[in-house]
């Protein structure tokens, strides 16, 4: 069997989708051949896993297409590649290459790697699948273009892979996709890397990982933490990811957290260190499709506190402390206090539950289940 993957999911330098794709491709059983319709990409997972030979690094980017800066430079670049198909951006080059590969018909099954309708005029009667990673756009009503494409693809796809049962149920409820058309296949767990175990942060700290916008519920978590340190002032709140926004900085100052909250840009080894040495990892998001940081925390024996929302109970089982949080109402502070009073035995039991839960998630298993879907379709 030969599977053709298109370019879209591999376009970013780093993303959760590209990591997922590279993991399943590199772990596929030997009877699955594949091709990726991709000419240019600087994706780190493609490079690290050596999945494509001789791939070109993008030459014309939003930073260098004109050798000087001006307001709206990135928006002009986006407009040029969107409305001028001959504009030699990596997206246009990759899309044209992908269309050529699809039109050639030299494959048995097509796995679309995001949600874009560009390939539908060329796919003919070839079966195609795509993976639903979450239903954020629909639930929080943003990016209407993506919602429109996802709806159409859900109707036309031969089969759909959902990365959690919760995501499948949302897909069925919102777009009316029949149960038999969707297979749930969980992600695998991360590979444990070597790292220096010496503490980067000397104080006990609560760890937050990733983006902090909107549905991530970060502002409420700041408020909860501010209540917690009124009694337990030895703790810090460490946040990896981008620099704090003006709004976040203002709220941090209003809550008098300036000396307690730390923002860090980290390498993979530094992130492993932060997980390993954290007092606990907190995931307050209102919605996720899967929640890979849960498995990262388990990998480095870090106790976790999860918002009891969306897929979190499905993925973590009983290997977490659950709280109920949304803007303006939360019991996270109470749960932090409960964890503070855990005995050493209770804490070790929570960590051991995480280690056991992690055993369910394996990329070989994920790839084999994906191959089973391919074979079932054909």
Q: In what order do the strands lie in the sheet with 236-240?
A: 261-264, 236-240, 205-208, 280-283, 304-307, 321-323
**332 DSSP β-pair partners:** none
| 33 sits in which H/E element | strand 33-36
Q: What pTM value is reported for the model?
A: 0.93
Nearest to 257 by CA among 331, 216, 200, 206: 206
Mean pLDDT calculated for residue range 157-180: 98
Over the stretch 250-266, which tens digit does the pLDDT of each residue have? 999 999 999 999 999 99
Nearest to 224 by CA among 270, 261, 195, 178: 261
Q: Give the chain's domains with CATH numbers.
A: 2-188+362-377 (3.40.50.2000), 205-358 (3.40.50.2000)
Mean pLDDT calculated for residue range 109-124: 97
SS (H, E, C) 265-318: CCCHHHHHHHHHHCCEEEECCCCCCCCHHHHHHHHCCCCEEEECCCCHHHHHCC
* Cα–Cα separations (whole angstroms), residue 199 to 194, 204, 260, 337: 14, 10, 17, 23
Over the stretch 88-100, which tens digit does the pLDDT of each residue have? 999 999 999 999 9
Over the stretch 183-227, which tens digit does the pLDDT of each residue have? 999 999 999 999 999 999 999 999 999 999 999 999 999 999 999
Which residue's entry shows tokens 């408020």? 223
Q: What is the mean pLDDT of the chain?
A: 96
- The whole-number pLDDT of residue 14 equals 86
Beta pairing, strands 325-326 & 329-330? antiparallel
């Amino acid at each position: 069997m030969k599977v053709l993957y298109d370019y879209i999911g591999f376009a970013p330098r780093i993303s959760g989708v590209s990591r997922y794709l590279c993991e399943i491709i590199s772990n596929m059983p030997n009877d699955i051949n594949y091709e990726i319709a991709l000419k240019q990409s600087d994706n780190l997972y493609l490079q690290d896993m050596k999945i494509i030979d001789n791939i070109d690094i993008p030459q014309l980017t939003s930073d260098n297409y004109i050798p000087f800066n001006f307001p709206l430079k990135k928006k002009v670049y986006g407009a040029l590649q969107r409305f001028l198909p001959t504009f030699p951006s990596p997206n246009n080059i990759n899309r044209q290459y992908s269309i050529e590969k699809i039109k050639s018909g030299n494959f048995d099954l097509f796995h679309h790697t995001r949600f874009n309708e560009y390939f539908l005029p060329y796919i003919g009667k070839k079966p195609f699948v795509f993976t639903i990673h979450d239903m954020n756009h629909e639930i929080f009503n943003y990016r209407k273009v993506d919602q429109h494409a996802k709806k159409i693809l859900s109707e036309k796809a031969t089969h759909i892979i959902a990365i959690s049962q919760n995501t499948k149920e949302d897909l069925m409820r919102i777009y009316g996709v029949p149960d038999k058309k969707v297979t749930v296949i969980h992600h695998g767990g991360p590979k444990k890397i070597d790292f220096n175990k010496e503490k980067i942060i000397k104080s006990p700290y609560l760890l937050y990982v990733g983006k902090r916008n909107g549905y991530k519920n970060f502002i409420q978590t700041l408020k909860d933490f501010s209540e917690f340190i009124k009694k337990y002032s030895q703790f810090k709140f460490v946040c990896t990811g981008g620099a704090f926004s003006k709004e976040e900085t203002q709220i941090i100052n209003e809550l008098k957290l300036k000396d307690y909250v730390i923002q860090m840009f980290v390498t993979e080894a530094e992130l492993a260190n932060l997980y390993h040495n954290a007092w606990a990892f907190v995931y307050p998001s209102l919605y996720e499709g899967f929640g890979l940081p849960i498995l990262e925390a388990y990998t480095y024996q870090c106790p976790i506190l999860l918002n009891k929302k969306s897929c979190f109970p499905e993925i973590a089982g009983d290997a977490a402390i659950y709280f109920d949080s949304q803007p303006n109402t939360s019991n996270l502070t109470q749960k932090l206090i409960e964890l503070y009073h855990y005995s050493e035995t209770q804490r070790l039991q929570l960590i051991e539950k995480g280690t056991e839960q992690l055993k369910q998630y394996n990329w070989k298993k994920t790839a084999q289940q994906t191959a089973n879907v391919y074979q079932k379709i054909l």
